[in-house]
Amino acid sequence: MAKVPSIPSAVVAASGLVGGYGVARWTKKRQLGGAVLAVAGAAAAQQWRRQAGGKAAGVLTVAYVAAFAGSHPLARKVGAWPAVLGVAGAVALASWAVADRPA
Mean pLDDT per segment of 10 residues, for the chain of length 103 residues? 77 98 98 98 96 97 98 97 98 97 85
How high is the pLDDT of residue 29?
A: 98
What is the reported pLDDT for 4? 54
pLDDT at 6: 87
- Backbone CA torsion sign across 23, 29, 30, 35: negative
The predicted structure's pLDDT at residue 75: 97
Q: Give residue 3's pLDDT.
A: 66
Query: Given this model, what pLDDT does residue 5 score?
Result: 63
The pLDDT score that the predictor gives to residue 72 is 96
- Dihedral, CA atoms, 63, 48, 39, 31, nearest 10 degrees? -10
The pLDDT of residue 32 is 98
